[in-house]
Structure 1
Amino acid sequence: MSYQPLLISFEEAAELRKHLGQDSLIGNSLALEIAALEAYMPIGIEIPGHGEAGGYEHNRHKQNYIHLDLAGRLYLITEEPRYLAYAQQMLLEYARVYPTLELNTSRDSNPPGRLFHQTLNENMWMLYASCAYSCIRHTFDESQRNAIENDLFKLMIELFVDVYAEDFDIVHNHGLWAVAGVGVCGYAIQDQASVDKALYGLKGDSVSGGFIAQLTQLFSPDGYYMEGPYYHRFSLRPIYLFAEAIERRQPEIGIYELKDQVIKTTTYAVMSTAFPNGVLPALNDSSKSIDIRDEGVVIATNVCFKRYSQDVNLLAMAKHQNKVWVHSSGAGLSDAVAAQADIPGFNWGSLSLTDGPQGERGGVSILRHRDAKSDDSMALLWFGQHGSDHKLHSALDHGHFDGLHLSLFNRGQEFTQDYGYGRWVNIEPKFGGRYIPQNKSYAKQTIAHNTVVVDQMSQNKGDTATAEARWGEKHFFVTDDTELQAMSARVQNYYDGVNQQRSVVMFELPGFTKPLVLDVFKLTSESEHCYDYPVHFKGQIIRTDFDYQQESVLNPLGDAQGYQHLWKVASGSVKDSSLVSWLMGDSYYSLVSSAAKDSEVIFARIGANDPDFNLRSEPVLILRQRGKNQVFANVFETHGYFNEAIEASTDARGQVESVSVLHSDDYATLVELQLTNSRVVMVAVSNQDGDAVNADHQLTVNGQKYQWLGPVKVFA
């Protein structure tokens, strides 16, 4: 038979059939997919009309394409005739109904489809349905094929390629789904002209649009995607589904080798940003729960293992995902996992990724530390470009005003929280499942992130166009010694006349079970400002070393820029250093902070001016200082253990007692840590520019001379 399914050949299906009933990753993944299809089929086939985003109709169309794809593939593998009949009927019913549907009503600036309120979902439907059709096309007679291809798929292609030509050729995450959907559909119905448009763009130049342009222009040289890991992982599905189809139908293109294997580079970029528990960091509009078990990441893990290299981290990821793609690449990865006796947790190590088409627009740096018990610590510092692209739609401004954002993780949890986006996905009663109004008024604002807020205003005045024209720069990145790692970045004029530098040092000390994290946030200005350093955390406050006053009546902290959504719960003045400890899960965390004149610690909680309870109620700690040139020197210490079930609590008090900034200027900053038992640790950070940051340094403070080579030194 000359016609072959797109992503799984008849021969591969026969090989996969041998894994049915096996207790392996591929065998169990097959069983899960069969169970899902068997549970959905009895509901019957329904082609609903229009509905709300996230409403019944939306979800039914989505579940239809998911299970249509399952039915097509599983028919090839199991040869179960009920799966064939189900897929055939589903496609014929959509072909009958689709021409009768008017365009849906768009609830935002994204253009509508005939099935969904936005074409993005319709692109996804077409891609999955096309994969299913390619699996069973040979089972239809000519009249049925004509009906499905002419009354369904060709009408969809016309909608995306002709009616929405501008969106089809846009180099953007949504554009990826459009070209992948049309390209896969073109292959499935043997329409090479449509495939060529998807590959090379409507002008055929591989520059102004098309899949080639997407791959060569969308990612930085290190593979980072400007909208962040949440949207990056969403792009992996169309990339790999289309790439696999291209490789099988037009191998001469060499899609997997394009631009020095850009598909691998960009895949590893998103994988390597994940926290040790697999959750992807919330940069820009991001869910707090998306992790490497996401379908796109699973597919990418499998295909990378087959097409590129047998990286041990891919084995570790497959073990964590506990499933594989039901595909020949999934079977190969499953066999490799079974053959490996011991697979440690994935560890991409410390790394720094550039942002921007030429790597010129800042980036993200990550420090990782694995201890003797295989527990991973991670610190992430973000200083890239604003995560939006107005070439598509203004409503798709996914960027947050959070330059120099910091997230910290250890003991299996992110212990300084980023709020993520304000959205209850597909929960129709919550604003139709779309972004809640507070996404703009709180989640995007600088106070919602762990970075300094100046004069209670968001960075770049909360203006997207201004933010898009600015980005940070890497100052230094040191990871030569696992006992001492450091990263530093700068942003300039995110606030008028204020320059910011954030240096994060992760280092081991004798007697400490986890590395300490010292955050040195340096601000310089010729004018006096109010500087707020917010820390978002979860858990219960255990102790402080200063007095504070609880508010008898709750009032918002401000009236705009996100402050209107923060209840002021308590506050206290501090003259020297301040300490706040909290319990999260079974671990204690202490934040020990330097203080300046008229310093204040504010305890707040999210939820003010939110009559519909759209926001999550979570605690926030704010360190407030006033002045011109200021330095926040803050130490994060992880310590102790708590188990309520057995009434166990150890080391509830940490070993860092106080932190002081002894010196800071354009040359260097010197920080003193007072520990228990009268121990003293000094940390020196270079503030030099260019090559000078890596040179020899010498500093005399209070009669004591400090000498070091490179950006940072710990004197213990």
Structure 2
Amino acid sequence: MTYQPLLISFEEAKELAKHLNTDSLIGQSIAAEVAALEAYMPLGIEIPGHGEAGGYEHNRHKQNYIHLDLAGRLYLITEDQRYLDYARSMLVEYAKVYPTLELNTSRDSNPPGRLFHQTLNENMWMLYASCAYSCIRHKLAEDEQTLIENDLFKLMIELFVDVYAHDFDIVHNHGLWAVAGVGICGYAIQDQASVDKALYGLKGDSVSGGFIAQLTQLFSPDGYYMEGPYYHRFSLRPIFLFAEAIERRQPEIGIYQLKDQVIKTTTYAVMATAFPNGVLPALNDSSKTMDINDEGILIATSMCFSRYQRDANLVAMAKHQAKVWVHGSGASLSDASENAASIGGFNWGSLVLTDGAEGDRGGVAILRHRDAQQDDSMALLWFGQHGSDHKLHSALDHGHFDGLHFNLFNRGQEVLHDYGFGRWVNVEPKFGGRYIPENKSYAKQTIAHNTVVVDYQSQNQGDTATAEEKWGEQHFFVSGDNQLQAMSAFVRNYYPGVDQQRSVIMFEAEGFAKPLVLDLFRLVSEQEHNYDYALHYSGQFIRSDFNYECNARLKPLGENNGYQHLWHQATAEVEGSSLITWLQGNSYYTMVSSAVANSQVIMARTGANDPDFNLRSEPVLLLRQQGKDHLFANVFETHGYFNEAIEASTEARGQVVSVEVLAHNKVASAVAIHLVSGKQITVCVSNQANVKSDTQHQLEINGETLRWSGAVHIA
């Protein structure tokens, strides 16, 4: 059989060539890649030595493999001899140098390669270089093939499979890149023995390691990956690139149908977590800016459309991405986009994604609401397992102590947000582009998240091994009706002797432009504790309905567990209810909170004990309460409009004036939301385990008996 490139056949390349110089999505995508390659080629071919993470050498090796891959594919499509010559020369030069290189210096516990400070980057280099090689191999002289295969690719395979055998079989996103790199390289150089190791693991059992084990063990039944969307999207590139190579070389494996189409399931899972603006939620160690334009999700969007189903959400995502993968699948998606009568924003709806290999380790719940103006509101509640498995590898602890964390998004922006990771990716003066020390001392700590901190301590004592033995449990999930949606979950014993329950209700109310969001955070304990309800937002403080005292001299809010990184700016003593409004972008947001005797509102800001100015300066609100059993009841209202350019400000004050806790016990919680108009909205939420739509509830409130069935009742 004639040798074919791995991911794009000669025939497909000719079809793609028909899109050159067209204005379609695929035409624009090809043009963008041509422009990128044309801009890089004049720099010449340089094979640098070793360098630190994010440094010049690191980035040059990375840019080399990116443009090497472009040159190989674009040669097939354009037949431009310059691209062939460029790819050939770069591969030959690397083959001349690679055997002479010593191992790089590792900056963490991930072992080094000969090019990069960690093998993960070297796996990526080999994968892309192998794809490029497969595109031009048929044009190389026999001695060139021998040189490249023996002195470059086979040495790389030996390093990953033999020298670092203990890492090759690790079931983790690093392991995915290792097996995909070796497998694709094996196909490219016609080394089936290496392909088999990549597919089935070093023991050949498809359980202890290999691509099959990765796909069948990494994800929950709903497709969720424990480390969160940031690392999840990173896994999609090796998954789809290797899967497509497998399907073309060994279709009898049926890789796209494996485990009830696990590739599709896990891809849709990460897509479904995205905020309406395409940005991925910053669960665990995560960037605040990573979005669906990521190359892995871009490839996955095209491939899912081609290999699975022509989903309208994929067409909407392609419109948002303004690009498709330069591949036959990308051309199909481009055609669908051209032929669509209208394309709205992507909307995966309200859903719950379970966590854990068996789907029994909590999860993440998401509520979505689309209004008449096509604006999407989204609320997220996190209650899954700790996002790491330190038993596999100490460097792979990406988990945060953030059980029952809460995000809110509307009007195109994240309103209540997570700090994300503490890292300046590839900015070498900032700790070599690696995780900064404040990632552990602040970003991972519970105070850095929108949840409750008990006794100034992080959940599970801030200990990874302890946290890995705990996870939350879903209480209820109500969706399907734009007028009322709700989600609730428990975490138990994250703090000894304290049970926590968080219920988030998103509902429409007459006279409100956006749905109201009610957050009920219930704590149950037989002992007295300090409870700090933490809230992180962006924007400018506008007003409050209480008096506060500013600190003339700033001091840290505490000494450890992340508190040492918060400047204590102001404190207020509140009782009954409190209100704070801030301005973010063009929108006003008001939080109205319940309070009882001896409650405090603390205003803080990140940046204390940060001598290298590593942390972003952001406002933080704490609602502080001492007690045994306690219910934090908070209403979030979106209102008004601000435009400084035209000096316009409307409805800067919201309609909610106070919130009152009417009752809370093991049966249910009830709160009253009081409006400017004098009207009252009463919301009741079940606290009973295993609540169903017909579960009966009864509460005594001010001498009256309130009865209802189901998880949530609004009157």
TM-score, scaled relative to structure 2: 0.99
Separation in 2 of the partners of 1:583 and 1:694?
41
Task: Identify the residue that residue 437 of structure 1 maps to in structure 2.
Answer: 437
Which residue number corresponds to residue 673 of structure 1?
A: 673
Any residues of structure 2 matched to 1:129-168 within 5 Å, and which? 129-168=129-168
Gaps of 5+ in 1: none
Alignment match, 1:365: 365
How far does the alpha carbon of each residue in 1:165-199 deviate from its partner, in whole angstroms, 9 at most, with x for none? 11111111100000000000000000000000000
1:35 aligns with 2:35: yes
Contact 1:597/1:626, CA 8 A, preserved across alignment: no
- Displacement after TM superposition at 1:704 (Å): 2.5
List aligned pairs for 1:216-615, cutoff 5 A.
216-615=216-615
Q: Aligned-pair distance for 1:697?
A: 1.7
- Matches for 1:87-102 after TM superposition, within 5 Å: 87-102=87-102
- Once residues 111 and 392 of structure 1 are traced to their aligned partners in structure 2, the CA distance between those partners, rounded to angstroms, is 14
Q: Deviations over 1:218-270 (max 9, x none)?
A: 00000000000000000000000000000000000000000000000000000
Please report how far the alpha carbon of residue 6 of structure 1 lies from its aligned counterpart in structure 2 after TM superposition: 0.3
Equivalent residue number for residue 108 of structure 2: 108
Q: CA deviation at 1:543?
A: 0.5
Distance apart, 1:705 and its partner CA: 2.5
Measured in 1, the distance between the counterparts of 2:687 and 2:80 equals 68
Q: Report the Cα distance in structure 2 between the residues aligned to 1:122 and 1:386, rounded to whole angstroms.
A: 28
Contact 1:130 1:185 (C-alpha < 8 Å) held by counterparts: yes
CA RMSD of aligned residues (A): 0.8
The CA distance in 1 between the partners of 2:181 and 2:302, in whole Å, is 21
Any idea what SS the aligned residue of 2:514 has?
coil
Q: Give the CA deviation at 1:694.
A: 4.7
User: Residue 602 of structure 1 contacts residue 622 of structure 1 at CA under 8 Å; is this kept in 2?
Assistant: yes
* 8 Å contact from structure 1 (residues 424, 430) kept in 2: yes
State the distance in 2 between where 1:662 and 1:391 align: 46
Tell me if the contact between 1:686 and 1:693 (Cα under 8 Å) persists in the aligned partners: no
Spell out, residue by residue over 1:404-440, the C-alpha distance to the aligned partner (whole angstroms, 9 max, x if none).
Answer: 0000000000001100000000000001111100000
Tell me how far 1:596 sits from its aligned partner.
Answer: 1.7
What code does the residue aligned with 2:527 have? S
Counterpart CA distance in 2 for 1:452 and 1:571 is 18
Asked if structure 2 preserves the Cα contact closer than 8 Å seen for 1:453 and 1:532, the reply is yes
Q: Secondary structure at the match of 1:690?
A: coil
What amino acid sits opposite 1:26 in the alignment? I
Distance in 1 (CA, whole Å) between partners of 2:329 and 2:408 is 34
Q: In structure 2, what is the Cα distance between the partners aligned to 1:697 and 1:628?
A: 24
Partner of 2:69: 69
Answer whether contact 2:475 2:691 (CA < 8 A) is retained.
Answer: no
- 1:292 is paired with a residue of what secondary structure? coil
Q: Which amino acid aligns with 2:565?
A: H
The CA distance in 2 between the partners of 1:253 and 1:52, in whole Å, is: 40
CA contact (8 A) 2:460 2:467 kept: yes
Post-superposition offset of 1:272: 0.2
1:647 counterpart residue number: 647
* Contact in 2 for aligned 1:454/1:530 (Cα 8 Å): yes
Task: Render the CA deviation track for 1:605-657: whole Å, top value 9, x for unaligned.
Answer: 00000011000001101111110001000001000000001111110000000
Counterpart amino acid of residue 47 in structure 2: I
AA in 1 matched with 2:464: T
What is the distance in 2 between the residues matched to 1:135 and 1:511?
61
Distance 1:541 1:169 in 2: 51
- Residue 543 of structure 1 aligns to a residue whose secondary structure is strand
Partner of 2:4: 4
Counterpart Cα distance in 2 of 1:4 and 1:423: 41
Equivalents in 2 of 1:661, 1:100: separation in Å? 72
Amino acid at match of 1:138: H
Amino acid in the other structure paired with 1:315: V
Equivalent in the alignment of 2:206: 206
| 8 Å Cα contact 2:691-2:710 kept in structure 1 | no
SS in 2 for 1:36: helix
**CA separation in 2, counterparts of 1:258 and 1:155?**
31
SS for the counterpart of 2:207 is coil
Q: Find the residue that maps to 2:486 and give its secondary structure.
A: strand
Q: Which shifted more, 77-86 or 387-396?
A: 387-396
Q: Distance in 2 between matches of 1:20 and 1:708?
A: 64
Find the aligned partners of 2:693 and 2:591 in 1 and give their Cα distance.
28
Distance 2:625 2:409 in 1: 26
Structure 2: 5+ residue stretches without partners: none
Counterpart code for 1:617: S
- Paired letter, 2:179: V
**Are the equivalent residues in 1 in contact too, given 2:489–2:502 (CA < 8 A)?**
yes
Query: Superposition pairs for residues 7-26 of structure 1, below 5 Å?
Result: 7-26=7-26
Write the distance in 2 (CA, Å) between the matches of 1:189 and 1:694: 63
Greater mean deviation of Cα atoms: 690-699 or 289-298: 690-699
Shift in Å, 1:391: 3.6
Q: What is the count of residue pairs matched by the alignment? A: 715
- Partner residue, 2:620: 620
State the shift of 1:693 in Å: 7.2
State how far apart, in whole Å, the 2-side matches of 1:410 and 1:709 are. Answer: 30
C-alpha displacement of 1:709: 1.6
Q: Deviations over 1:436-470 (max 9, x none)?
A: 00000000000000000001100000000000000
Asked if the contact 2:542–2:583 (Cα under 8 Å) also holds between the matched residues in 1, the reply is yes
Structure 1 residues 447-498: Cα deviation after superposition (integer angstroms, max 9, x where no partner): 0000000011000000000000000000000013210000000000100110
Output the CA distance in 1 between the equivalents of 2:297 and 2:392: 25
Return closer, same or farther for 1:490/1:11 CA change in 2, 3 Å cut-off. Answer: same
For 2:141 and 2:602, the matched residues in 1 are separated by 72
* Alpha-carbon distance in structure 1 between the residues aligned to 2:693 and 2:73: 57
CA distances 1:91-136 after superposition (whole Å, capped 9, x unpaired) = 0000000000011110000000000000000000000000000000
**Which contiguous aligned blocks of 4+ residues in structure 1 show a shift greater than 6 angstroms?**
none
SS in 1 for 2:262: helix
Shift of 1:57: 0.4
Taking the aligned partners of 2:616 and 2:205, their CA distance within structure 1 comes to: 47
| Cα distance in structure 1, aligned partners of 2:481 and 2:35 | 49
Instruction: Find the aligned partners of 2:693 and 2:495 in 1 and give their Cα distance.
Output: 25
Deviation at 1:395, TM superposition (A): 2.1
| Cα distance between partner residues in 1 of 2:697 and 2:689 | 13
Alpha-carbon contact 2:691-2:711 (below 8 Å) kept: no
Q: Take 2:341 and 2:460, find their aligned partners in 1: how far apart are those partners?
A: 52
Between the aligned partners of 2:117 and 2:333, the Cα distance in structure 1 is 38
Moved more, 384-393 or 324-333: 384-393
Counterpart amino acid of 2:334?
S
SS at 2:570 equivalent: strand
Give TM-score, length-normalised by structure 1: 0.99
Following the alignment from structure 2 to structure 1, what is the Cα–Cα distance between the partners of residues 409 and 170? 36
Q: Which moved more, 1:260-269 or 1:701-710?
A: 701-710
